[in-house]
Amino acid sequence: MGILDTPPDERVDRVTRLAKEMFSVPMVSVNLLDNARLWSKSQIGFRGSEMPREYSFCDNTVRQDRTVVIEDVSIDPMFARNPFVLGDPHLRFYAGHPLHAPGGEAIGTLCILDTQPRQFTESQSSLLKDLAFWVQAELSRDQELDHARVIQRAMSPQRHPSVPGYTLAAGAFSRGKLSGDFYDLMLRGDALRVTLADAMGKGAGPALVAAGVRASLRTAPERSLAAAIAEADLLVEEDMGDMGMFVTAVHADIFPATGRVELIDAGHGLAFIIRADGGRQHLRSYGLPLGMGTGTVEEHERITGRLAPGDTFICCSDGLLDVLDPDDPFGQVERAIRELGPEGTVDEALRLARGERATDDITALVIRRDR
């Protein structure tokens, strides 16, 4: 499951704190076992995060695969000589319930411990079981998100098209495990089709919506830009309209032979041509985001521009605005393009995305006409 030796998780820590208060015990731990050791994902009242498996009470709980309660371990035949009973912290009480992997294997425990013997009722045992199920759900959720993240990465362009006379660069950074942003680059006849979209919010919900929009825009590539956007608009409206979900998007064709740019902006507003001589063209219409329109071709206005040799097309998600110089954001971008080139500009955007000021997913796409 890839959980061992991972950083603390506040969602699991919350259950640990709750168990301490509910049972009034000095020690609580969420433990996972590998072949030779016990490792704590979350704990209260312990000095270390791991110990040899052979000394752990939880090894017995995992092997039995049931709730185990020992009201006084000092008189228990199996554990009376345990070093943690004879020595520090002089344990006397143990109760643990197994945690299971998605496949059903017992892999660890939620356990509570005390330095005094105590009785443990059936209702308390049931409560410990419920809390263990909660922890188990959180750990499984992490694995599911990791799998989803792998799939999402696989759906992103693995290689950018090779376009003679042009340099292409793009990248994305997610603030969470899943991103509501996506970009796409694909050759379509004599045009390079470019897409960048941003589903409202962060996390699994926007990521699912973004995946649906990406699939819609990639289907039937012979469609016009307006037809593709209209169908994606209808998809989001029909499936997510009652949730208030929407997606901003830029969908464009760049014709390498002439540098002509044809673009539809669905409420995004962050596509530009940066001229080699320092000028700038904002490629923006006033179309509504996907999910807020009527799903018709007519409502999506096509914008045009042209990349001359040395000009650069740039598009980003709005998360980038949070990390740029608030006094001169365009100047910062233009300097990066001039000094770092397309790949360096994207690298710089992703470096800023990892900083403390970033609060949202960030995606950046830069295309320069070299000749």
Question: Are 146 and 169 contained in the same domain?
Answer: no
* Predicted local confidence at residue 49, as pLDDT: 85
Secondary structure (H, E, C), 145-175: HHHHHHHHHHHCCCCCCCCCCEEEEEEEECC
Of 150, 184, 208, which residue is a domain's last? Answer: 150
Contact of 315 with 196, CB cutoff 8 Å: yes
Q: Quote the number of domains for the chain.
A: 2
- pLDDT, one tens digit per residue, over 158-181 is 789 999 999 999 999 988 777 889
Confidence (pTM): 0.64
| Confidence band for 35, pLDDT divided at 50, 70 and 90 | confident
Please report whether residue 3 resides in a domain.
Answer: no
* Predicted local confidence at residue 26, as pLDDT: 95
Lowest mean pLDDT among 5-9, 22-26, 242-246, 277-281: 242-246
Contact of 334 with 311, CB cutoff 8 Å: no
- pLDDT, one tens digit per residue, over 216-240 is 888 777 889 989 998 898 888 876 6
Q: Say which CATH number the domain at 178 has.
A: 3.60.40.10
Does residue 238 or residue 39 have the better pLDDT?
A: 39
Which structural domain, as residue segments, surrounds residue 345? 156-369
What is the average per-residue pLDDT within 28-38?
92
Question: Are 140 and 197 contained in the same domain?
Answer: no
Q: Say which CATH number the domain at 73 has.
A: 3.30.450.40
Q: What angle do CA 64, 58, 5 make, to 5 degrees?
A: 125
Question: Are 85 and 214 contained in the same domain?
Answer: no
Question: Are 202 and 331 contained in the same domain?
Answer: yes
What is the average per-residue pLDDT within 242-246?
69
* Predicted local confidence at residue 73, as pLDDT: 92
Of 150, 173, 199, which residue is a domain's last? Answer: 150
Question: Are 166 and 139 contained in the same domain?
Answer: no
Question: Are 142 and 182 contained in the same domain?
Answer: no
Contact of 79 with 44, CB cutoff 8 Å: no
| Confidence band for 23, pLDDT divided at 50, 70 and 90 | very high
- % of the chain beyond a pLDDT of 70: 92
What CA–CA distance (Å, rounded) separates 257 from 260? 8
Question: Are 168 and 232 contained in the same domain?
Answer: yes
For the chain, the 3-state helix, strand and coil shares in percent, each to the nearest 5, are: 35, 30, 35
* Predicted local confidence at residue 176, as pLDDT: 75
- % of the chain beyond a pLDDT of 90: 58
Of 126, 150, 174, which residue is a domain's last? Answer: 150
Q: Comparing C-alpha atoms, which of 153, 158, 221 is closest to residue 187?
A: 221
- pLDDT, one tens digit per residue, over 261-295 is 999 999 999 999 999 998 999 998 777 898 886 66
Question: Are 139 and 227 contained in the same domain?
Answer: no
The DSSP element (H or E) to which 347 belongs, if any, is helix 329-353
Q: Comparing C-alpha atoms, which of 74, 152, 82 is closest to residue 117?
A: 74
Sheet bearing 93-100, strands edge to edge = 50-52, 37-44, 27-33, 106-114, 93-100, 68-70
The two three-digit tokens of residue 117, written as one number: 């013997």
* Predicted local confidence at residue 103, as pLDDT: 77
